[in-house]
Amino acid sequence: MSIITLTTDMGVKDHYVATLKGAIYNHYPEAKVVDVSHNVKPFNISQASYFLKNIIKDFPDNTVHVIGVDAEPLVNFNQMDESSLPMILYYKKQYFVGTDNGIFSLLLENNKPDALWSLDDVLSQPELMNFPTKKILIPAACKLAQGKKPDDFATKADKVKRVIPLSPVIDGNVLKGAVIHIDHYGNIITNINKENFYKAGRKVPFIIYFRQKEYYIDEISLGYNEVPDGEKVAIFNDSELLEIAINKGTPENGGGANALFGLRLGDIIRIEFTPRGSRETIESLF
């Protein structure tokens, strides 16, 4: 039984997700369907790529991931290079089926695709533009899940549309990152990964500032419970990204880190490295 995952911005209020699943079972009744998320912010390919990058390692080879976010193709017959067509990406031994709107370059980061194909059906059948996730992406995903080769129904391609992701910046002894996701608990996930953190800091003391230095943390914990309930904590999560949280933060006790610190997507997180010691050490001298 092959796995097909669904990542969409369709929400769960309407019938759209059920329609996708019905289409899958019509094409391939034996498929195993896994919902990654249907609450991606509308048309937000950055958030969709965040979810997908975090699950790749947990799925077996040849899993097929359907990306129904900003999926409507854009066809420019005068300049086809400017078109956004449905495509299949093979990367890390898994398939990703979506529209080439920049999502594939975000998944690849600086890596090259293992293989790439274009789904050209929409060029000859414009009626497929109506609900393309159902009419183009799902049929292709089912063929892949059934073991069919992309070369049998798609056209080889050699490049994807590039978009520039928001990346951390090193400025002297300061590492600047940004909030890229706020999870169900109100935990703040940044784009600062563990490798970059230790490469920039070289194991010297540091202070993590947020909200214009209004709040700070000067240590990394292994888990949430290393601090008392209701206290702020910084960890590297399962994806090795810097996360700022409130241990057991809930609406009843004040909320998660996003509510308590007023942090939003895109807000800047500053890490200042100094050999002099932590903020408490410095303040104790005065």
Of the pLDDT bands very low, low, confident and very high (cuts 50, 70, 90), residue 278 is very low
Q: What span, in angstroms and rounded, lies between the C-alpha atoms of 96 and 3? A: 12
Q: How high is the pLDDT of residue 274? A: 83
pTM of the predicted structure, to 2 decimals: 0.86
Of the pLDDT bands very low, low, confident and very high (cuts 50, 70, 90), residue 82 is low
Of the pLDDT bands very low, low, confident and very high (cuts 50, 70, 90), residue 275 is low
Of the pLDDT bands very low, low, confident and very high (cuts 50, 70, 90), residue 279 is very low
Q: How high is the pLDDT of residue 203? A: 75
Closest CA to 162 of 112, 208, 202: 112
Spell out the domains of the chain, with CATH numbers in brackets: 3-156 (3.40.50.10790), 169-283 (2.40.30.90)
Per-residue model confidence as pLDDT tens digits over 141-191: 999 999 999 999 999 999 999 988 888 988 888 899 999 999 989 999 999
Strands (E), the chain: 3-8, 32-37, 64-68, 86-91, 94-99, 115-118, 155-156, 169-171, 174-182, 188-193, 206-210, 215-217, 232-236, 241-246, 268-273
- Please name the amino acid found at residue 2: S
Of the pLDDT bands very low, low, confident and very high (cuts 50, 70, 90), residue 201 is confident
Most confident of 52-56, 194-198, 205-209, 230-234: 52-56
Phi, psi dihedral angles at 237 (to 5 degrees): -80, -170
Position with higher pLDDT, 284 vs 97: 97
Position with higher pLDDT, 87 vs 211: 87
